[in-house]
Amino acid sequence: NAGVTQTPKFRVLKTGQSMTLLCAQDMNHEYMYWYRQDPGMGLRLIHYSVGEGTTAKGEVPDGYNVSRLKKQNFLLGLESAAPSQTSVYFCASRGQGVTGELFFGEGSRLTVL
């Protein structure tokens, strides 16, 4: 059982380039999340989705866009990457029930030069 899968795992971008991170889950979960994790800081919520076709802004949404066209996939886009977006990005999903545990993907390490 794959759980939550993120691609790519590593990426180096130049300032101004665009890219998309893909998150796929095979647990039929309704809720999906994109976080970023920076040294010395807690996980910060970028965007989240409570179901297919819905998205909402989290704590740090600026510079990112998301889409949830299919229930199993949650895409995170950077239209014009900036060095401040250098981070480790984690996708997570949660089953029905807002207090259920989160299942995380392995993370995507992004460096913006």
Residues that bind another protein (CB under 8 A): 35, 40-45, 48, 58, 90, 98-99, 101-107
Residue number, 79 or 106, with CB nearest to another protein: 106
- Token reading at 55: 């998205």
Ramachandran area for residue 106 (φ above 0: left; ψ -120 to 50: alpha; else beta): alpha
- Minimum distance, C-beta of residue 55 to another protein, in the bound complex (Å): 14
Beta carbons of 38 and 87 less than 8 angstroms apart: yes
Minimum separation from the CB atom of position 58 to another protein (A): 8
The smaller minimum CB distance to another protein, of residues 17 and 103, is found at: 103
**CB of 112 vs another protein, minimal distance in Å:** 20
Q: How far is CA 92 from CA 3, 18, 81, 98, 103, in A?
A: 10, 22, 22, 13, 5
Residue among 17 and 60 whose Cβ is closer to another protein: 60
